[in-house]
Amino acid sequence: MSWFKDLWFQTETIPHAILMVVLVCAIGLALGNLRIRGVGLGIGGVLFVGLAFGHWGWSANSEVLHFLREFGLILFVFTIGIQVGPGFFASLKRNGLPLNVAAAAIVLLGVGLTVVQWSYVMGGRKSDLPAAVGLLSGATTNTPSMAAATAAFADLKQSVSSGSVRATSLPASGLDSSTNFLSSDELVATTLPSGTAADPFSHAASDIGAAYAIAYPFGIFGVLLAMILVKLLCRIDIHQEQRKLSEKMAHPALDAINLEVINPALSGKKISQIPTLRDRGVVVTRLMRDGRVQVASKDTSLQVGDVLTAVGPTQDLAELELIIGQRTSQDARTVSSGIDVRRILVSNKHTVGKTIDELALGDKYGVKVTRVLRSGFELPVTPFTRLQFGDRVVVVGETASLPQVVHELGDSPKALDKPLLVPILIGIALGVILGSVPIVIPGLPVPLKLGLAGGPLIVAIVLSRVYRIGPLIWYMPNGANMMLREIGIILFLASVGLLSGEHFMTTLQSKGLQWILIGAVITFVPVLVVGLLARILFRINYLTLVGLLSGSMTDPPALAFAQSITGSDAPTVSYATVYPLVMLLRVLSVQVLVILLASPVS
């Protein structure tokens, strides 16, 4: 049984490292699933188990952990970008703009409180700066920002050692340029420029991880407490808020009506010439004349007495009725004919990304697309409606023509279950490249880098918005996206915990209470202040507000709590609206914070 003993106690071997990481992930996930009144640690349980393993000396090969940490982070942020990208730019428009402004205010207020407390409560010591940014990340339960802060210290020190920053700006130490992440061993000072003190960042990565873990629990509960206080202080009636939001956010229903052509001005006109029809999302699908039914094409001429079947938003159909004539009890859909209706799944990659006009299904096959079903919603059809993977389109046409339409659109569920790996891998590669590009900003002593947290996130958002470049389609099934995301984040947290656990208890005993209070202020004050202002001054619906507060912290447990206290899924909408911008601001703000505070120009 010596092999079994070696597996557990030969800590530098790769099998041992994999075993430790897998155990930390499994136990951590089980711990995170425990709920007290519906609230638990969630994915954060992996970090705490990793810290415990590291404290007890059950660590692993540091090079393996560094790789898993970086690769896990890349998977996590890239899959987030792929998911939120399609709605990111739309979220900055119209109703999404005030929500994103409020969320950005929470982010910036938290950064400001971090600077103030580091300067006055922690004494403004550079040696405490890693802990300050770690507290900011933990208090906002934002793991990518913790990774970005760690990478920022690494990049800054590397810039100093390579001579791109004046030696008096920051003490330099030896650093392996192959990694953006630092362990406590990698940050031990080596050769320092003359006149400098000992390296104040010799345990930066360890301090960041420890501070993150200490601030994380109240980072979760503080948001929940703020939601409850806003509800009590503003005397909010949940049922009334639900009713108001339902009236405001009701999705325009699609309907189908039969209209008899009475307007003599339309006689001899083509269907495409009916006023307001083209861009209003109304589609005329059938025309009945003298008891015979045919598919209504754009070139079909109208006669008084024709009966048209039209599909579209209810309000637009009412306007169409005023133009055409009047509703009739005659229903062209009930008359026996060679016309059929088919729901077809869009799975052909050559069709994806094209508009209804570009497909020209009516010209080629004599059929009409009447509805597009996407993510549970029925979308009105206009010539500019662009199809995506997984859409279901409702097509009306001659029965003999429908198989050709099916062939063109795909209609293959199996095609959606298979992730398109080549575009995903290319996207990740582009994200790593972008994250490594130095961005020179006037006033900053070193160039800013998006790093492994920001680069892949931005690339994924852009590519998912573009959706298709030539044969490459950036689509990922929801199941595959969630799997890769969960794997990425648990690998990252397990590695961080194992690397930081050795010094965690010592730090907790010496500075734990102070750090808990600092983190609580960073969590609680911005959320409560902005939450009250948004409600009192701007009258934001409470169901929207709690989703906004959860999204500003990128906090899934808070979102789950918001759904439970409101009895609605409505908070998910505002959560998703602010999430992309908040994630970008969290990642970039800690990097700017590190560069500005860690490297004063002498």
Residue 108's pLDDT band, with cuts at 50, 70 and 90, is very high
What whole-number distance in Å separates Cα of residue 73 and Cα of residue 421? 18
Q: Please tell me the least confidently modeled range out of 124-133, 157-166, 425-434.
A: 157-166
> Shortest CA distance to 371 belongs to which of 320, 313, 426?
313
Q: Is residue 568 part of a domain?
A: no
Last-in-domain residue among 416, 436, 471: 416
Which pLDDT tens digit goes with each residue over 147-160?
778 777 776 666 55
454 and 339, same domain (yes or no): no
Residue 545 lies in a domain: no
Which has the higher per-residue pLDDT, 289 or 439? Answer: 289
Instruction: For the chain, give the number of residues.
Output: 602
pLDDT at 170: 37
Tell which wins on pLDDT, 195 or 211. 211
At position 450, the amino acid (one-letter code) is L
Q: With respect to residue 564, please indicate whether it lies within any of the assigned structural domains.
A: no
With cut-offs at 50, 70 and 90, classify the pLDDT of residue 406.
Answer: confident
**Region of residue 60 (phi > 0: left; psi between -120 and 50: alpha; otherwise: beta):** beta
Mean pLDDT of the chain: 77
**Structure token digits, residue 418:** 């298979």
Taking only the tens place, the pLDDT of each residue in 462-480 is 888 777 777 777 777 777 7
- 175 shares its domain with 301: no
Range with lowest mean pLDDT among 186-190, 232-236, 509-513: 186-190
pLDDT in tens, 163-185: 554 433 333 333 333 333 333 33
pLDDT at residue 386, as a whole number? 79
Write the DSSP assignment of 225-267 as a string of letters.
Answer: HHHHHHHHHTT--HHHHHHHHHHHHPPPPEEEEEEEE--GGGT
Residue 22: in which H helix or E strand, if any? helix 14-32
Q: Among 66-70, 445-449, 578-582, which stretch is predicted with the lowest mean pLDDT?
A: 445-449
Is 332 a member of any domain?
Answer: yes
Assess whether 274 and 158 both reside in one domain. Answer: no
Contact 541, 249 (CB under 8 A): no
Q: Which tokens belong to 21?
A: 């990481």
Residue 81 and residue 20 share a domain:
yes
Do residues 463 and 410 both lie within one domain? no
Q: Do 352 and 497 share a domain, yes or no? A: no
Cβ–Cβ < 8 Å for 214, 141: no
Q: Are residues 399 and 451 in the same domain?
A: no
Specify which residues 261 forms β-bridges with: 325
Mean pLDDT calculated for residue range 272-294: 76
Helix 542-552 vs helix 238-249: angle between axes, to the nearest 10 degrees? Answer: 90
Q: Which of 281-295, 357-371, 588-602 bottoms out in mean pLDDT, i.e. has the lowest?
A: 588-602
- Per-residue three-class SS string for 456-517: HHHHHHHHHHHCEECCEECCCCHHHHHHHHHHHHHHHHHHHHHHHHHHHHHHHHHHHHHHHH
CA dist., res. 286 & res. 294, Å (int)? 6
Judgement on whether residues 235 and 261 belong to the same structural domain of the protein: no
Which has more pLDDT, 185 or 379? Answer: 379
* pLDDT above 90 for 569: no
Q: Indicate whether 113 belongs to any domain.
A: yes
- Kindly indicate the confidence band of residue 276, based on its pLDDT and cuts at 50, 70 and 90: low
Q: Is the pLDDT of residue 524 over 90?
A: yes
Residues 227 and 146 in one domain: yes
Bridge partners (DSSP) of residue 340 are: 397
**Is the pLDDT score of 251 beyond 60?**
no
What is the DSSP secondary-structure string of 523-566? HHHHHHHHHHHHHHTT---HHHHHHHHHHHTT-HHHHHHHHHHH
- Is residue 56 domain-shared with residue 205, that is, in the same domain? yes
- Percentage of the residues of the chain whose pLDDT score is greater than 90: 9
Q: What is the mean pLDDT of residues 530-544?
A: 90
Which range of 176-190, 399-413, 588-602 scores highest in mean pLDDT? It is: 399-413
Residue from 262, 206, 247, 240 nearest 496 by CA? 206
pTM over 0.75: no
Q: Are residues 267 and 361 in the same domain?
A: yes
* Span 43-47, average pLDDT: 76
Beta bridge partners of 288: 293, 307
More confident residue, 510 or 68: 68
> What's the confidence (pLDDT) of residue 116?
94
CA dihedral 265, 266, 272, 275 (to 10 degrees): 50
Instruction: For residue 562, tell me if it sits in a domain.
Output: no
135 phi, psi to nearest 5 deg: -65, -40
Comparison of pLDDT for 298 and 456, the residue scoring more: 456
Radius of gyration of the chain (CA): 29
CA pair distance 595, 599, nearest whole angstrom: 6
Q: Is residue 542 part of a domain?
A: no
The verdict on residue 439 lying in a domain is: no
In the predicted model, is pLDDT for residue 214 greater than 90? no
Which of the two residues, 296 and 155, has the higher pLDDT score? 296
b vs e for 181-203, b when ≥16 Cβ sit within 10 Å of the residue's Cβ? bbbbebbebeeeeeeeeebbbbb
Check residue 188 and give its pLDDT: 34
CATH number of 266's domain? 3.30.70.1450
Clarify whether residues 339 and 216 are in a common domain. Answer: no
* Residue numbers of the domain that contains 122: 2-187+199-243+444-526+573-598
| Structural domain count of the chain | 2
